[in-house]
Structure formats: C-alpha cells, structure tokens
Amino acid sequence: MAEPRFTVGYALLPKKQRTFIQDSLLALARSRGIDLVAVDLRRPLVDQGPFDCVLHKLRGEDWSRQLREFSSRHPGAAIVDSPDAIDRLHDRISMLQVVSGLEIECPDGSSFGIPDQVVVYDRERLLNEQSCEGLAFPVIAKPLVADGSEQSHEMSLVFNRGGFSKLEPPIVLQEFVNHGGVVFKVYVVGEYVQCVKRRSLPDLSEEKLGSPEGLVPFSRVSNSVIPEKDGDESREATELEEAEMPPQSLIAELARGLRRAMKLSLFNFDVIRDARYGDRFLVIDINYFPGYAKMPCYETVLTDFLWDVVHKNEKDEVKYVEDETCSSKG
C-alpha cells in the first residue's frame, strides 16, 4: 500500500519565497511524502488546496480573515502559526515582555533577562531631558514596529542627547551592553533548537564613548559600523571563534519557555552575554519565521518539522544543536 502524501501550502512574500523555497528543500520534502505548493495570493485561500498545513508569513486583517475562514472550512488542517500570536512580535516592547514573564530554572548560577529599555512615542518627549528614564549613554535606538520592513531595521547607536534630534518616534531606547562583539542566534523550529555565533557590535571603550558624533546608524545589530582599526577584523574573527557558547540547558529552556508562552513554532531569538556579569544573558530580539536558509542543514530541520505537523505528532521536548551538523529522522 502506498504511503499517504501530504500537501503544505506556503504563503510568502516574493523575497521570502526566493530565499526559503529552495530546490533542495522541495526535493527533500517530496522524498518524505510532503508536497510544498505555493498559495496563489490573487485567489481566496479557501478556494485552494486541499492543504494539510498552511505555512505563512503574511500580515493584515484580510489575510487573518482568510485563515479563519479556511480553518473553519478545514478544521483538520494545521496553520503555522496563528496571526494573533505572531502579532506580538511586531512590537519591540511586547516582544520582550514575554521574556520577563518566563519562569525557568537557570543552570550553574547563570541568569537571563532583557536590557533596560523605554519607548518614546512623540518628539517632544524624545527631546526632553527625562526621555531616557535612567538609561545611561550610549543607547540603541530601534523603531517600535518590527514588521520586517527596511524601516524597521533602521537602528542607531546614540552617544549623547544631540543624536536624538535625528530620530523619528515612536522609538525604543535600549541600553547598550558590552557583550564581547558576539551575538548568539537561536533558531527554533518546533522542538528543534540550534544556537550559532555571529559577529555583533564591538565593545565600546571609554575612548569610543567620547565620539563627537551624536548618533551612528547601523542596519542590523550583527553588522558593525563602528570604524575599525587595522587588525580589528582579524581580532574580532578570533574573538568570535573563541567565544564560549551559553549553557546548553539555559538556551534549551529559554526556547521551550518562549515557544509555550508565545504559542509559536517558527522563530529565532538573539542572546548576548553581559560583559559585566559573565554568567548573565540578555535576550535582545525575537523574530518570527527568520531566514532559515542561513541555518546549517535547514532543509532537514524544516522537513522534519513539517513531517511532525502533518502526522500530528504532538511533542514538548527539545532537540538542541550548537554545531553545524544535522541528521534526519527516518
């Protein structure tokens, strides 16, 4: 008797589709009995399929309505993930509030938290001397809305009050914490957790804190814009290679706790080691449906996840990986 086949409809914007839907992913999923089919965004979702699962990264009330209608018509189909749950990650304040609410045991004397931060909604308050509410310079300025657009990635390192005049509220002001120039990116795909190291903004010395510039823009935290001296690049590469990974059990428990609290299956979160306290780790960002194609062996990980979804394998375990190897379930 032939093995049953399952159809997963994916609804992604063109840029996301180009990076995520690779031939290697399509082929591996097909070999496991899963056919990945593009949702036609010009037609009502309810008129398409049949789908055993809908994988999506779209926004808007119309799309949410289409998902609700599809779920009502096909209650057995899985939706990955709920639009209401995803919306929480589009606000940089509510995004990190979930971290503060986690109750997990930290191993080996380690601890976790989030950076101190405030949100400023209007220019008058931004230019007011009380706008930082106790935050010390430098601070990182981030747009309040995190919707994946180019504008939402327009961040800046602000050295003094003069830099505030170049910002456009609503804006989140977050304390800058020296962290060894390394960010730990934790990818979560259902039960699967993979932690990788990436370069981040370098630590700031007292000399750099005296920068005459009020503000230095940077597109993403992992891309340094602080001017480098000769030899800095090789030194930072060595620091990245030698950086100690966070405790495996802490990252695994953070991933499990966030997955439960947010009711999401596909996300990543960025963690830094607070240089002031070597065993304290800060979650600085959470993203829905990140660039998984950058993750080692993403095809195997996503295919295993979709196999579990369409076979309705309910699990609450964690499979943790912190190197660049992977294996597939049979």
Binding-site members for Mg(2+) are 270, 285, 287
Sheet containing 117-120: give its strands across: 117-120, 171-175, 139-143, 155-158, 215-218
Distance between CA atoms of residues 274 and 80, nearest Å: 34
Which residue, 14, 38, 16, 35, is CA-closest to 25?
35
Contact 141, 156 (CB under 8 A): yes
Would you list which residues are annotated within the binding site for ATP? 92, 142, 174-185, 200
Residues tagged in the binding site annotation: 16, 57, 92, 142, 153, 174-185, 200, 270, 285, 287, 291
Point out the annotated binding site for 1D-myo-inositol 1,3,4-trisphosphate.
16, 153, 185, 287, 291
Spell out the residues 6+ positions from residue 266 whose beta carbon is closer than 8 angstroms to its own.
80, 81, 188, 189, 190, 288, 289, 292
Helix (H, G, I), strand (E, B) or coil at 99: helix
CB 176 within 8 A of CB 135: no
- Who contacts 228 (Cβ-Cβ below 8 Å, separation ≥6)? 236
DSSP string, 141-166: EEESB-SSSTGGG-EEEE-SGGGGGG
User: Are 96 and 117 contacting, i.e. CB atoms less than 8 angstroms apart?
Assistant: yes
Q: Which residue from 154, 38, 48 is spatially nearest to 92, judged by alpha carbons?
A: 154
Q: Which amino acid belongs to residue 103?
A: E
CB 152 within 8 A of CB 143: yes
